[in-house]
């Protein structure tokens, strides 16, 4: 029996039923191949009475969202689908998002990619480093993956599109909330972009979503470039997660490090590799990133 994307979305919408519980439910379902994911006995084993009681309302809510998703040509991929990205399974193991809601060029899910993260209030030097690094990597036929915040994220996406390349935007909110931001409008090309969300279609941004989203950026990438990270917050945590996952992490090194890059030193101490300027060109030296990507690929 199938585990439909609609059923998974309904479960994830129910209060208190997060990705972890859904992954446990999927494991039980796989051990009973003749059952449906929404089999009553299976649900009673996995969910609390209050969660079971909430499912009908969640189903109605998702049914309304489902029509909107179809109108916007959103592709919904479940973790049991054959075309679910292999890189996510490989990097995140059992902690993969149960669902991905995607708009745009789905081929980018399996394209060789480099992720970017960093402060939303990056220094001028940091924003320039993000732009130049992403542009250079784009010219090496690598897809750029990042979030959708101001600062480093938008600089990386802008560079990829302006350089004629491709980019994947990973949201920390529902896909129905996506709008093309002003900084990207002039370069926007829907054939060269992919928007990805692992959250309910209309859920708002939250800190926990942003942290979870950063792990997905890692999972879609062969290496991660950290431009600027404060000593605390989502960017430095993304770097720590990257190292724990065994993914090559490159942290920018600055003369007179700005306050927005104080976390870079910690990550370099933990095992991140240095992203330095080339003396010959004055641009970031991406050669070590290319070497790491080729080795990983």
pLDDT in tens, 234-255: 999 999 999 999 999 999 998 7
Pick from 85, 118, 96: nearest CA to 198: 96
Q: What is the mean pLDDT of the chain?
A: 94
Q: What percent of the chain has pLDDT over 90?
A: 86
- Residues with Cβ within 8 Å of 207's Cβ and at least 6 positions away in sequence, in order, are 234
As its CATH architecture, domain 106-296 has 3-Layer(aba) Sandwich (3.40)
Give pLDDT tens digits for 46-76: 899 999 999 999 999 999 999 999 999 999 9
pLDDT at 35: 78
Say whether pLDDT at 33 is over 80: no
Say whether pLDDT at 297 is over 90: no
For 172-224, the three-class secondary structure string (H helix, E strand, C coil) is CCCHHHCCCCHHHHCCCCHHHEEEEECCCCCCCCCHHHHHHHHHHHHHCCCEE
Say whether pLDDT at 1 is over 60: no
pLDDT at 3: 64
Give pLDDT tens digits for 212-226: 999 999 999 999 999
Mean pLDDT of 88-103: 95
Say whether pLDDT at 80 is over 90: no
Say whether pLDDT at 2 is over 70: no
pTM: 0.95
Give pLDDT tens digits for 139-165: 999 999 999 999 999 999 999 999 999
Say whether pLDDT at 263 is over 80: yes
Q: What percent of the chain has pLDDT over 70?
A: 98
pLDDT at 100: 97
End-to-end CA distance of the chain: 34
pLDDT at 77: 95
């Amino acid at each position: 029996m199938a585990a439909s994307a609609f059923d998974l979305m309904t479960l994830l919408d129910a209060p208190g039923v997060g990705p972890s519980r859904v992954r446990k439910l999927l494991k039980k379902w796989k051990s009973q191949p003749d059952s449906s994911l929404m089999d009553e006995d299976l649900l009673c084993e996995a969910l609390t009475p209050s969660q079971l009681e909430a499912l009908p309302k969640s189903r109605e809510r998702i049914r309304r969202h489902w029509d909107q998703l179809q109108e916007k040509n959103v592709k919904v991929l479940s973790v049991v689908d054959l075309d679910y990205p292999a890189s996510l399974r490989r990097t995140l193991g059992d902690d993969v998002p149960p669902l991905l809601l995607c708009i745009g060029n789905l081929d980018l899910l399996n394209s060789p990619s480099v992720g970017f993260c960093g402060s939303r209030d990056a220094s001028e030097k940091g924003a320039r480093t993000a732009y130049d690094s992403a542009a250079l990597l784009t010219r090496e036929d690598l897809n750029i993956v990042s979030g959708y915040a101001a600062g480093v994220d938008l600089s990386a996406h802008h560079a990829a599109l302006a350089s004629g390349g491709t980019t994947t935007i990973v949201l920390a909110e529902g896909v129905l909330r996506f709008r093309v931001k002003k900084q990207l409008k002039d370069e926007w090309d829907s054939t060269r972009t992919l928007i990805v969300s692992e959250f309910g279609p209309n859920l708002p941004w939250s800190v926990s979503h942003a942290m979870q989203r950063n792990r997905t950026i890692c999972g879609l990438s062969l290496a991660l470039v950290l431009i600027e990270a404060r000593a605390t917050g989502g960017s430095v945590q993304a770097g720590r997660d990257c190292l724990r996952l065994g993914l090559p992490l490159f942290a920018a090194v600055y003369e007179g490090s700005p306050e927005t890059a104080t976390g870079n030193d910690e990550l370099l101490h933990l095992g991140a590799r240095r992203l330095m300027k080339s003396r010959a060109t004055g641009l970031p030296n991406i050669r070590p990133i290319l070497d790491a990507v080729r080795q990983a690929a």
